[in-house]
Amino acid sequence: MTDTDETFWNDPECRTTTEVRTYFTILRPYLIIITSLFAVSVLAGYLAGHFNPEIAEQMMGQFEESYGWIADESPLVIMLFIFANNTLNSFIAMLLGVVFGLWPILFILINGFFIGVVVFDATREISIFIILAALIPHGIIELPMIFISAAIGLRLGYLTFLKISKKMEISIQQELFQAVRFFIKLIIPLLFIAALIETFVTTAIIFILMS
């Protein structure tokens, strides 16, 4: 465990803003990896749709089949579904990171590829301006929270590797506890806000721009 880690976990003065800032410092290299993988996978998804439109049609069809029912629900149900779905998937990506960080990487690659396909499919019918106007208000909160969850998972995987290879004495149980605490204190509230924005603000923006 590094000196920065020990300060974060043991210093009683590390609270709220200082605690978050310190943890971000610890996560920085993992966040860079996760964000880079996401950007590459989004580009790959967009190019896949561009060069093989059937992939976009197939994936969008599967998405509609799985989640099309939500469009008929009330805004409250939609908001709660978005919040629960993002929270659960982010939490799983974080916890399963202990398996050498494999699941957070797959989680980011799969979601990035799908978003790339969705963006390509959307640009065939509406302008990129409308797409960005629809994505940015909630995405500016939602995506960083997902990235952070995956970065925590990737870090847990790396620490697990160090422990198993006996290169460092680490309490994985303590690391998991601190990760869950951080998730509850920061990520869950912001994912809730993102779900509110996506349900009510994003919908209003799309309605105005499309009318």
Where is mean pLDDT largest: 44-53, 69-78, 159-168? Answer: 44-53
| CB-based contact 82:146 (threshold 8 Å) | no
Contact 127, 182 (CB under 8 A): no
pLDDT at 34: 97
**DSSP character at residue 203:** H
Is the pLDDT confidence value at 186 over 80? yes
Distance of alpha carbon 105 from alpha carbon 208, whole angstroms: 37
What pLDDT does residue 14 have?
A: 47
The residue with greater pLDDT, 32 or 61, is 32
Q: Which has more pLDDT, 187 or 133?
A: 187
210 — pLDDT class (breaks 50, 70, 90): confident
Question: Does position 11 have pLDDT exceeding 50, yes or no?
Answer: no
Give 190-208 pLDDT, tens digit per residue: 999 999 999 999 888 888 8
